Structure 1
Amino acid sequence: MQIPETTLFQSALIFLLCAAAVWIAGARLAYVADALADRFKLAKSLVGLLLLSLATSLPEVATTLTAAVGQARDLVLNNLFGGIALQTAILAMSDFWARGPITNYPRKANHALEATLLVFLLAVALIITNLGETIVIAGVGLGSVFIAVFYVGAIWLLRKYDDSSDWVPVDLPDPDPLAFPAPTGLTHSSNTAMIWQAIGASLAIWIFGLFLVLSAAQIAEQSGLGNSFIGVTLLAAATALPELTTSIAAVRIGAYTMAISNIFGSNLIMLVLVFPADILFRGGPILQQTSQTVSLALSFGLAVTAIFLIGLIVRRKPKVGAFGLDSILVLLTFLASLAAYYFAR
């Protein structure tokens, strides 16, 4: 699928319009997901991990599969792995709307477990990209198969651990939601109506996400910046818009655990998408002969996730204004990643 030939200005305009549509749909999805969790008495962390993260990852799905079919290895990997540090930085920005550091709010160990499993998968992906795929079956590397299998096991473990109470934090902040108006009429909507709204918002995210990748590819070609830099910055930022808007909306209504699980769950999905991309990419294993930017993106993803893992474990941490020290370090690390990507492009 291709959009008609356009100028750089027109491509940028299409990109911005699609990004705005994704933003609006993502915000609506957050409100509906929160309402559905209350209606069906589901844990907010579970809704964030399984529903919200999957729905907000639809642009990454569209981007990955489209670019993989087009045999654009760099665009696939840089978008996926570059988006991990970006989405974690989005979680850090949520401190601005929360009552103190957002990592102080979880009452269970499942968020720390999410971060730990994500660190492990990132490390595995980094090892594979540096060593190369040693076992290849029908053009698909064993490494991407392992990532997919481990992802399924991780979701099973997280789902099983969700009801565990063997880890009890102390000095918990006030969990009461912030005063923030819900969308007009949502509280009076039926369950069926809200489910259809969630489906509609998800479809909008997927459709406009597809046009985002098409316009970004044209911008990469027309600007001369190349797929590596565009994929790890502009495209990753655009496809992370649902996570940004849903996380901010969730935090503003007090659904802190849903916001955290949304980001960590989305990052896990970013990694497992390597497997379908490897199947569609016919130039050999997709994790083989990768660029330096890919290794950098995985390394920075490891760094920001580890920082937040420490923040989840250390309950008392210094604050700078509304931000916890862990969130500030994540934001600084993300800014450092942008400079590294630019020089490695």
Structure 2
Amino acid sequence: MTQISELPTEALVFAFLIAAVFVWLAGTRLALVGDEIAERFDLTREFVGLIFLATVTELPEIVTTITAGQVGNAQLVLGNMFGGITMQTAILAVVDIFAVRYALTSWPRKPTQALLAVMLIALLSMLLCTTFLGDIEVLFSIGLGAVLLSAGFPLVILLQRTFDQKESWSPVDLPDEEERMKTLRSRFRARETSTTRRLIVQASIYSVLIVAAGTTLALTADLLAERTALGASFIGVTLLAAATSLPELSTTLAAARIGAYTMAISNILGSNLIMLALILPADIAYRDGPILNEATAGAQLSISAGILVTAIYAAGILIRRTPRFLGAGLDSWLVLGVYGASILALYHLA
């Protein structure tokens, strides 16, 4: 970190761009491997997106969160986490525009993604209430709210696995499943020839590449943020959140391009749930009291925006007849509008 901090700004920008390329390539391949893992081990794509892709793509955020917490930069930590939730949800809108023929939210065959979205809204609402009321210190400067919010992630996983095994919902007016088969899989011959061992090795290699390149993205973005005149909260919500969200963008876009739409949605919702679980390690690393007590109006605005964009997609999944406008579902355009408005509002606060 010390050596990186001594690099000139031009070198930091170059390192940032190189890392972004590696993240993009590795993330694309990781989505293909994840789709093959789902078929090889008879797992649902929702579960693979929620656990496998979401966990790997969130590792750069874990590094950034703990590092910023250790140096006492609470505003950067909270800005990165809470701003990242809205930004990562907006990734689904980008995918809807460039990689999906029908509205993205019209593809899920089960209400699993709607359940994930509702649980995420509930946890975000708890988080927002905690930032208003203040967190209660329970032990070693760790807040009770951080503990409870982190415990929500395994609970959501358990509910998702239980609910996914039920056939209690009969959706109608779904897109033709044959459309899903018109994918880019034919470009990757390894799909028919890879053994299970080779598949696991490939997944490990791509995961390591994403972690290494994603960490470089986060570190260089952090240093570039320090050399600007904008506040840490605004930089965390914009530049740093964008840098650490690149793995989610590449894997989600690749998943959509191969027709694994439910895996793409679950990847983003799972990443956002993990983002909330990161509050606990951030609170442990931050030694000046419960970190949620440092939440500013900008952080609260980001949480509110996260609730709103998640609710929009939850409604789109349940309605299932989302109209398309200019190449994407109406819900995706609404999400992009909310994200853009939140950035303008945060810039005004900064």
TM-score category of the 2 structures, normalised to the smaller one: over 0.9
Match of 2:94 in 1: 93
State the percentage of identical aligned residues. Answer: 47
Is residue 267 of structure 2 the alignment partner of residue 262 of structure 1? yes
1:19 positional shift: 1.8
Which one-letter code corresponds to 1:177 in the other structure? Answer: M
Match of 1:306 in 2: 311
Q: 1:146 aligns with which of 135, 145, 148?
A: 148
Distance in 2 separating the partners of 1:30 and 1:90 = 15
Distance in 2 separating the partners of 1:24 and 1:154 = 30
Which one-letter code corresponds to 2:258 in the other structure? Answer: I
Count of paired positions:
345
1:168-220 alpha-carbon deviations (Å, 9 max, x no partner): 21011112322313434343121111111111111111122222222122111
**Is the Cα contact below 8 Å between 1:115 and 1:264 reproduced in 2?**
yes
Query: Which structure has greater helix proportion?
Result: 2
1:4-23 matches, cutoff 5 A = 4-23=5-24
Distance in 2 separating the partners of 1:9 and 1:25 = 25
- Larger deviation, residues 16-25 vs 83-92: 16-25
Q: 2:295 aligns with which of 265, 290, 295?
A: 290
**Is the Cα contact below 8 Å between 2:60 and 2:211 reproduced in 1?**
yes
Distance 1:33 1:40, change over 3 A: same
Match of 1:201 in 2: 206
Given the two structures, how large is their TM-score scaled by the length of structure 2?
0.95
Secondary structure of the residue aligned to 2:294 is: coil
Q: 2:257 aligns with which of 244, 252, 259?
A: 252
Secondary structure of the residue aligned to 1:246 is: helix
**Is the Cα contact below 8 Å between 1:83 and 1:237 reproduced in 2?**
yes
Q: 1:137 aligns with which of 139, 147, 151?
A: 139
1:61 positional shift: 1.1
**Is the Cα contact below 8 Å between 1:91 and 1:263 reproduced in 2?**
yes
1:34-53 matches, cutoff 5 A = 34-53=35-54
Distance in 1 separating the partners of 2:191 and 2:110 = 29
How large is the RMSD of aligned CA atoms in angstroms? 1.4
Distance in 2 separating the partners of 1:208 and 1:66 = 16
- Larger deviation, residues 7-16 vs 64-73: 7-16
1:116 positional shift: 0.1
1:4 positional shift: 4.0
Secondary structure of the residue aligned to 2:259 is: coil
Which one-letter code corresponds to 1:130 in the other structure? Answer: F
Q: 2:331 aligns with which of 310, 326, 331?
A: 326
Secondary structure of the residue aligned to 1:136 is: strand
Match of 1:155 in 2: 157
Distance in 2 separating the partners of 1:307 and 1:327 = 8
Q: 2:233 aligns with which of 214, 224, 228?
A: 228
Distance in 2 separating the partners of 1:74 and 1:67 = 9
Is residue 180 of structure 2 the alignment partner of residue 179 of structure 1? no
**Is the Cα contact below 8 Å between 1:62 and 1:209 reproduced in 2?**
no
Distance in 2 separating the partners of 1:288 and 1:321 = 42
Match of 2:60 in 1: 59
1:223 positional shift: 1.9
Secondary structure of the residue aligned to 1:316 is: coil
**Is the Cα contact below 8 Å between 1:177 and 1:252 reproduced in 2?**
no
Given the two structures, how large is their TM-score scaled by the length of structure 1?
0.96
Distance in 1 separating the partners of 2:101 and 2:288 = 49
Distance in 2 separating the partners of 1:204 and 1:314 = 38
Which one-letter code corresponds to 2:22 in the other structure? Answer: A
**Is the Cα contact below 8 Å between 1:88 and 1:305 reproduced in 2?**
yes
1:253-286 alpha-carbon deviations (Å, 9 max, x no partner): 1111100101100100011100111111101101
1:54 positional shift: 0.7
Distance 1:77 1:182, change over 3 A: farther
Distance in 1 separating the partners of 2:232 and 2:15 = 18
Secondary structure of the residue aligned to 2:227 is: helix
**Is the Cα contact below 8 Å between 2:225 and 2:239 reproduced in 1?**
no
Distance in 1 separating the partners of 2:126 and 2:250 = 30
Match of 1:75 in 2: 76
**Is the Cα contact below 8 Å between 1:68 and 1:280 reproduced in 2?**
yes
1:108-123 matches, cutoff 5 A = 108-123=110-125
Secondary structure of the residue aligned to 1:25 is: helix
Distance in 2 separating the partners of 1:243 and 1:77 = 19
1:28-60 alpha-carbon deviations (Å, 9 max, x no partner): 110111111112221111111111111111111
**Is the Cα contact below 8 Å between 2:106 and 2:322 reproduced in 1?**
no
Distance in 2 separating the partners of 1:322 and 1:228 = 33
Distance in 2 separating the partners of 1:237 and 1:174 = 34
Consecutive unaligned residues of structure 2, counting only runs of 5 or more, are none
Which one-letter code corresponds to 1:59 in the other structure? Answer: P
**Is the Cα contact below 8 Å between 1:85 and 1:301 reproduced in 2?**
yes
**Is the Cα contact below 8 Å between 2:96 and 2:328 reproduced in 1?**
yes
